[in-house]
Homo-oligomer: A and B are copies of this chain.
Amino acid sequence: MRWNPYAAECPTRQLLDRIGDKWAVLVLGLLEPGPQRFNALRRRIEGISQKMLTQTLRSLEADGLITRRAFATVPVTVEYQLTPLGRSLNSVLDPLREWAEANMSRVHKAREKRGAVDRK
């Protein structure tokens, strides 16, 4: 069965809901080099709240994109790590990140021009 990307239950639409959530892609990117601990992620992502980091990690875990491992140290240590599925998603997100770095300045320029003209 061929998917119709414009139907509500389409996978593309669901994926966009997934990665459009402001933090998920950043977390995936940070985990690329290797496992990271909770507070390490928190410190590296500017502006994320504890609540949102927890929420993001939980849902990435629920979706099978990362795994969580807790160690009985004191204080407790928790490591998050990409699954193969998460790594494969990362590999298609990379071109997106590159496009953003290369082209967002043009988007900004277009936006400013519109703002100046102010199409009533």
A interface residues, Cβ below 8 angstroms from B: 3-8, 11-22, 25-26, 29-30, 44-47, 61-65, 85, 88-89, 92-93, 95-101, 103-107, 109-111, 114
| B6 and A100 contact, CB distance less than 8 A | no
**Contact among B3, B6, B7, B101 for A30, CB-based, below 8 A:** B6
Closest to A62 in B: B114
Q: Please give the count of copies of this chain that the complex contains.
A: 2
In angstroms, Cα B29 to Cα A79, docked, is 38
| A106 and B92 contact, CB distance less than 8 A | no
**Contact among B4, B17, B22, B96 for A96, CB-based, below 8 A:** B96
Write the nearest CB–CB distance from A89 to chain B, whole angstroms: 6
Write the nearest CB–CB distance from A32 to chain B, whole angstroms: 11
| B11 and A100 contact, CB distance less than 8 A | yes
A-B contacts, 10 of them at CB < 8 A, read A5-B26, A6-B44, A6-B46, A8-B46, A15-B100, A17-B22, A62-B114, A85-B103, A85-B107, A85-B110
